[in-house]
Structures are given as C-alpha cells and as structure tokens.
Structure 1
C-alpha cells in the first residue's frame, strides 16, 4: 500500500490518489513538534520536509514529482493527458506552475504575514514573493477566460496543483482572488474525490475552518 507522509502539500497527493481510486494510508508528520524526533520519517526524507511517499521499495518527495510518478506508475489516467493530446501543453505548464510559480510565492508571502515580526512583514523579499505570485496568477486568469479548467474542458492533475496553490494564497497569504478564480476553485473543490481527501486530511480541514473564522 502507498504511504503518504504528511499533509500540507501532501493534500495534493491524497486528492490525486482519491481521484485515481488507489489504496493508501496517511502517516501524519508533526512539523511543529520537530521532525528531528521522527526517525521513521527522516529515514524516508532526511531533508525533513513534506510530503513524501513510500510505495514498496520506492520513496519519493516533492508533491508534483509524486503526482507524476503515481500517474505514470498506475495510469493511464485522464488526469494526465497524452503527450499528443492538444490539452497536454497547458496541462504540463499549469501542473508545474501550481508549485513553482504560485504555491512557492504564496508560502513566503504567508510566512511573512503570519510569522515575521511586524516590521518585517513587508520587507523586500516578501514583496518580491507577492509580485512573483501575482505575475504567475495572470496566466491562470487568462486561461480561465478560455476554458473551465486549466488544460481545457476536462479536469486534470494541473487543477489539483493550482487549486491547492490558490487556496494557500487565499487562506495563508491573505491574497484576494478574483471572481473567475473563486468560481474555478468552487468547481474543482466540488468534486467527490476532493471531499474524500478532506475527510482524510483532518489537520487541513481544521486549518481551513480556523482560517475561515479569522
């Protein structure tokens, strides 16, 4: 059975597994308690960050890499268009933009907003991270004016990647999203697999509930 270590970006992996109907278990990782106390997890990922998976003799980290591995190993799946499909270029672009261009910027914006001393919350690096997020978001906005999902008419793993990033930006980074992005997130998060993933990821569910009350 596939073991997923940690929530956070691990939610992307759980959501994908639910979409694909694959058996898995979630093994919590308490980053706040300190991963140096978690020898089992450090044996999987000595870097101490989440998510990671163990699949038989395979261990792999980084949420997008894990998603690509699972779709290649257990596919084919409509979540990953064939390379000859006209939808493939946009799928590939937004699958990776969801992390490299959006979630990474939102992570640093949110870190400054929630944890930095007040005088440092709008420092040069925090502003640069926000600009990075905003410029990449323009690509999402343009694409949503063309189609309901980022690769076209059908939901793909690129939507898992980007929906997670937009939720992170809104809840953690305090970013106000436009009507098109909010409607898109409602479409993506209205899926049954998303609901099942939320049931599994109790920490994420609690975090979103707390963020909604702020």
Structure 2
C-alpha cells in the first residue's frame, strides 16, 4: 500500500494518485503540534518536512520527485508525455516550474506576510520572492494564451504541479490572478480526481472553504 505522509504539497501527490486510480492511504502529519513528537513520521523523513511517501521499501520526499516516481513506476500514463512527444518539453518545464519557480517562491512570501513580526512583513527577501513568483507566472500566462493546459491540449501532471502553486498563492496571501489564470484553475480543479483529493485532504478542504468565505 502506498502511504502519503502529510497534506500541504502532499496534495499534489494525492491528486496524482486519484488521477491514476492507484490505491493509497493518507497519513496526517501535524506540523503545528510539532513533528518532534511524531516518531513514526520522523523514521520516514528525519528532516521533518512534508510530504513523504512510502511504497514498500521505497521512501521518498519532495512532491515533484514523488510524482515522477509514481508515474514512472506505475505508468505509462497520459499524465506524463513520453520524451518523443512534442508536448514533452513544455510538460517537463512546467512540472518543475510549479515548485521551483512558483510554490517555493510563494512559500517565503507567505511566511513573511503571515508569520513574521509586523515590522518584517515587507522585508526585502519577501519582495524578491514575490518578484520571482510574478516573473514565472508570466510564463504560465503566456503558455495559456496558446493552449488550455500547460503541455498543450491535454491535462498532465504539470497542471497538478502548477495548479497547486496558484491555489497556494491565493490561499496564503490572497494573490489576485488574471482572467486566464482563473479560467485555467477552474478547468483543472473541475476534474473529478481533484474533488476526490479534496475530500481525502480534509485540512486542505477546510482551509479552502475558510479562505473562500473571507
């Protein structure tokens, strides 16, 4: 049985598993309470961050790496175009940009805006991270001007990666997206597998409802 430890970026993994129809279980990890008291989780990931994945003897961390592993191990799947497919370069680029360019940058913006002392919430590093997010978002916007999904006409794991990042930015700092991005997120989050993943990830679903009411 595949076990996913933690929500957060683990939502990407759960969504992918739902899309692929693979059996799994989600094991909650309470970062607020502190993972130092969670010996089972620390045995899986001593670094103490989420998500982590256990698949038999395989243990992995980092959401994009986990996604690539699952698609390679249990594929082939249309969620991951083959290298010979003309869609592959765009797929590969946006799969990784969703974390390296978007979610990782917004993580530091969110930390400053929501957790830092009041006097440090507009610090230089947070401003730089926001600038990085916005510049990478421009690549997403440009791509969506030519196709409904980031690798072309077909939904792929790159869309899971990027949609998570855009939703993270909306939920954490109230980032205002343009019409193209909003329409794109409506398409990706309208999928049945997304709704199933939200039902599994109860904390993420509750967070989204709370933000939507504000």
With the shorter chain as reference, the TM-score category is over 0.9
Q: In structure 2, the residue corresponding to 1:33 is in which secondary structure?
A: coil
Partner of 2:7: 7
Answer whether contact 1:149 1:155 (CA < 8 A) is retained: yes
Q: How many residue pairs get matched?
A: 214
Q: Distance in 2 between matches of 1:55 and 1:25?
A: 11
* 4+ runs deviating over 2 angstroms: none
Question: Secondary structure at the residue paired with 1:153?
Answer: coil
Per-residue deviation at 1:118? Answer: 1.6
Q: Which string of whole-angstrom CA distances, capped at 9 and with x for unpartnered residues, describes residues 90-137 of structure 1?
A: 000000000000001111111111111221111001101100100000
For residues 46 and 174 of structure 1, the distance between their equivalents in structure 2, rounded to whole angstroms, comes to 32
TM-score by length of 1: 0.99
Match of 1:202 in 2: 202
Partner of 2:125: 125
- Number of the residue aligned with 1:106: 106
Equivalent residue, structure 1, for 2:42: 42
Residue equivalent to 1:66: 66
| C-alpha RMSD of the superposition | 0.6
Say if 1:107 and 1:173, in contact at 8 Å, map to a contact too: no
Normalised to the residue count of structure 2, the TM-score between the two structures is: 0.99
Equivalents in 2 of 1:6, 1:117: separation in Å? Answer: 27
Contact 1:18–1:193, Cα closer than 8 Å, also in 2: yes
C-alpha distance in structure 2 between counterparts of 1:175 and 1:189, whole Å: 17
User: Match of 1:93?
Assistant: 93
Q: What do residues 169-203 of structure 1 show as CA deviations (whole Å, max 9, x unaligned)?
A: 11102211111000000000000000000000000
* Secondary structure of the structure 2 residue equivalent to 1:172: helix
Mapped partners of 1:138, 1:56: distance in 2:
40
Q: What are structure 1's unaligned runs of at least 5 residues?
A: none
Write the distance in 2 (CA, Å) between the matches of 1:117 and 1:61: 30
Residue aligned with 2:59, SS: strand
Cα deviation for residue 168 of structure 1 reads: 0.5
Equivalent residue number for residue 166 of structure 2: 166
In the other structure, the counterpart of 2:24 is 24
State the alpha-carbon separation in 2 of the partners of residues 212 and 49 from structure 1. Answer: 27
